[in-house]
Structure 1
Amino acid sequence: MNTEQVLDEFRGAGALREGHFILASGRHSPMFLQKNLVFQFPERTARLCKALAEKIEAAVGKPDVIVSPAVGAIIPGYETARWLGVPALYVEREDGAFRLRRAFKIEKGAKVVVIEDVITTGGSFREAVQPIAEAGGEVLCCACIVDRSGGKADVGFPLVALATVDVPSYAPDEIPPELAAIPAEEPGSKRLKA
């Protein structure tokens, strides 16, 4: 599956949006990939994650376990693990840091692939590998459905992306006037208020 085919899955689900968006990273962008509109369709998710599983296996071999940051990457992590025939775990925030919870365990020396959905800066990847390292797991790579950084995100490990696009994003003090003129939406969940 190539980048255009991946984006077609997003378009087909109405998940490729244009406007002014505040991303989970706090950066601003003229494009947002509303991945949950894709992941609500099992057949779309299966196509994407099967292709991602094949790309991972070709790049680093078969892992022992998949780990995803909660909540957004649980579905693609699970589905990719299904295609690889390995367990799917997730890390979730506790006191602001990702932790393995719910009796999840990673065996010392286990080969781990961290799965994300859409990345911009790679921040969640970098945070998610900490509890894996603490458990003694060996991170083979980080993998995602879409790398919207154009390959510039620093994840600290090899990155396997099903699709790579170069979508501009801007720090809050660098927003171009034409984007600033559009009211901003915060469609993600990272900073939702309780």
Structure 2
Amino acid sequence: MESIINELHSIGAIKFGEFVLKSGLVSPIYFDLRGVISYPKLMNQLVEQVWCKKEEAKFDYICGVPYTALPLASVLSVQHNVPMLLKRKEAKDYGTKKMVEGIFQPGNKCLVVEDVITSGNSVLETVKLLRDLGLEVEDVILVLDREQGGIDNLLNHGVRPHVLTSASEVLNVLNKAGKISDDVVRRTLDFLHKNPEPIPPPAVMEHSRRFMPFSKRVNHCVNPVAKKLLEIIEEKKTNLCVSADVTTTKELLELAEKVGPEICVLKTHMDIIKDFSGETACMLVGLAMKHNFLLLEDRKFADIGNTVKMQYTSGKFFISSWADLVTVHTISGPGVLQALKEAAFDANKPRGCVIIGELSSAGNLITADYSSASMVLAAEHFDFVSGFVSQNSLSSRPGLIHFTPGVSLGCNGDNLGQQYSDPDHVVTQRGSDVIIVGRGIIMDANPGEAARKYKEAAWAAYEKRLLAAVPNK
């Protein structure tokens, strides 16, 4: 980096004097890397230094923060055959009106590249947009840190920074080369360290869901059931949901009694209970209160609003009277969410829904566009939406909970298309919050003991995920 720093100074990319910043402060130093595009050899050297940092990050795409980092990202993409995404500074008022151009799949990882970081707000704007589109953004490579608070800002929002050089190093290199005096070094460092850039409060820049403890995410919940669930998870130290795929009331209640102490949610399919009655639901609610877990009826509502409202509030199962949460497909549009929300409001009970964003079965027809559209609908109904059923992370919002089915400690799949993953992979790599386990527990000779093993594995994976957010300093 020493030769690059000296070359940047010689082409005027590093300037000394008096420069008015966006904040209104007058800075004795100014970094302007935009001119590097006119020096191909230097650009290539800089790109290779950025690429060396990629060993510390995992990613499927590269995205440069507009505008100065766009050339860096473009050269990286072409030279190293990594797909690039282009983030616009502002959306056009015609055409597709997209803010991000490129082909991508929600759940994949994107590496962000930036030239100079001051407060970090520009980086976080790009990170937030990419996360809102369903991409995982965990790492950003920065050419230069002005040392005015930006790095801490990124860390506070669940982003790991990888820095090529800093203002201090630049000053030392140029001083060593005889290009600036000791007095310039002293005055510049004094200005940088005494004038940190203002950082917006957490409400302005969203925290990363994946790297925030459940205990802190509680305050970000809009839906009261989501809040209650996170409180249960933290209190019981369990992010396990058992899928009670049994066919009689006796089996259902016995299973709930055995696994109740180990779970945060019991997922039911009441329409397969042969002898279901109001007493079945009443006794199950009693066990949920006894062992402190929530009830999720996996009804997968998908009809028009009026029909869904009747399915939810009446009929044999009278779901709204006992289920804390229900699953819903958004295929029929926003009416299904509005209908369920109105019915829950009429019942005057804390209720929520979980949107089916992705499925674990092979060959399912849910596309990336469908998942993205479901996220948009969720944003319009945060007061009722508690989270998603998904295979990957669909949102960075801390108040939304991700449930992932198809989890097993020792099975890869079945002959009907179900695909399984282990708890560690699902929680640490895919970003799930709550694992959903069915046959791995209910078919075990000792369901309570099996539930305990899954609970411990899932919680260990969650703690591992939190530790991964702490960079090596």
Which TM bucket (shorter chain)? 0.7 to 0.9
Of residues 132, 135, 138, the one that matches 2:136 is 138
Give the structure 2 partner of residue 175 of structure 1. Answer: none
SS of equivalent to 2:105 = coil
- Corresponding letter in the other structure for 1:162: L
Q: Distance in 2 between matches of 1:100 and 1:116?
A: 21
SS of equivalent to 2:137 = strand
Structure 2 CA distance for partners of 1:93 and 1:76, relative to 1, 3 Å: same
Give the structure 1 partner of residue 57 of structure 2. Answer: 60
**Cα displacement string for residues 76-135 of structure 1 (whole angstroms, at most 9, x for unaligned residues):** 12123334321222212337xxx9536434311111111111111111111101121111
Q: Distance in 1 between matches of 2:132 and 2:34?
A: 30
Q: Distance in 2 between matches of 1:50 and 1:24?
A: 30
SS of equivalent to 2:89 = strand
Q: Distance in 2 between matches of 1:19 and 1:102?
A: 37
Bigger strand share? 1
Give the structure 1 partner of residue 220 of structure 2. Answer: none
Q: What stretches of structure 1 of length at least 5 have no aligned partner?
A: 173-194
Q: Distance in 2 between matches of 1:145 and 1:105?
A: 26
**Cα displacement string for residues 124-173 of structure 1 (whole angstroms, at most 9, x for unaligned residues):** 1111011211111111301111112177532231101111224544379x
Give the structure 2 partner of residue 128 of structure 1. Answer: 126
Structure 2 CA distance for partners of 1:102 and 1:116, relative to 1, 3 Å: closer
Of residues 71, 74, 77, the one that matches 1:75 is 71
- Corresponding letter in the other structure for 2:166: T
Q: Distance in 2 between matches of 1:21 and 1:35?
A: 15
How much has 1:27 moved relative to structure 2?
A: 4.5
1:87 and 2:83 aligned: yes
- Contact 1:151–1:164 at 8 Å: present in 2 too? no
- Contact 1:64–1:111 at 8 Å: present in 2 too? yes
Give the structure 2 partner of residue 43 of structure 1. Answer: 41
Q: What stretches of structure 2 of length at least 5 have no aligned partner?
A: 92-96, 169-188, 198-473
Give the structure 2 partner of residue 160 of structure 1. Answer: 162
**Cα displacement string for residues 19-53 of structure 1 (whole angstroms, at most 9, x for unaligned residues):** 12133455542111121222321111111111111
Q: Bigger radius of gyration, 1 or 2? A: 2
Q: Distance in 2 between matches of 1:44 and 1:72?
A: 15
Bigger RCO (CA 8 Å, 6+ sep): 1
- Contact 1:150–1:165 at 8 Å: present in 2 too? no
Structure 1 residue runs of 4 or more that deviate by more than 6 Å after TM superposition: none
* TM-score, reference length from structure 1: 0.73
Q: Distance in 2 between matches of 1:87 and 1:115?
A: 13
Aligned-pair identity in percent equals 25
Bigger helix share? 2
Q: Distance in 2 between matches of 1:90 and 1:26?
A: 30
Structure 2 CA distance for partners of 1:79 and 1:24, relative to 1, 3 Å: farther
Q: Distance in 2 between matches of 1:148 and 1:6?
A: 17
Give the structure 2 partner of residue 14 of structure 1. Answer: 12
Q: Distance in 2 between matches of 1:65 and 1:26?
A: 36
Structure 2 CA distance for partners of 1:82 and 1:133, relative to 1, 3 Å: same
* TM-score, reference length from structure 2: 0.32
Q: CA RMSD in A?
A: 2.6
Q: Distance in 2 between matches of 1:86 and 1:136?
A: 19
SS of equivalent to 1:94 = coil
Structure 2 CA distance for partners of 1:44 and 1:100, relative to 1, 3 Å: farther
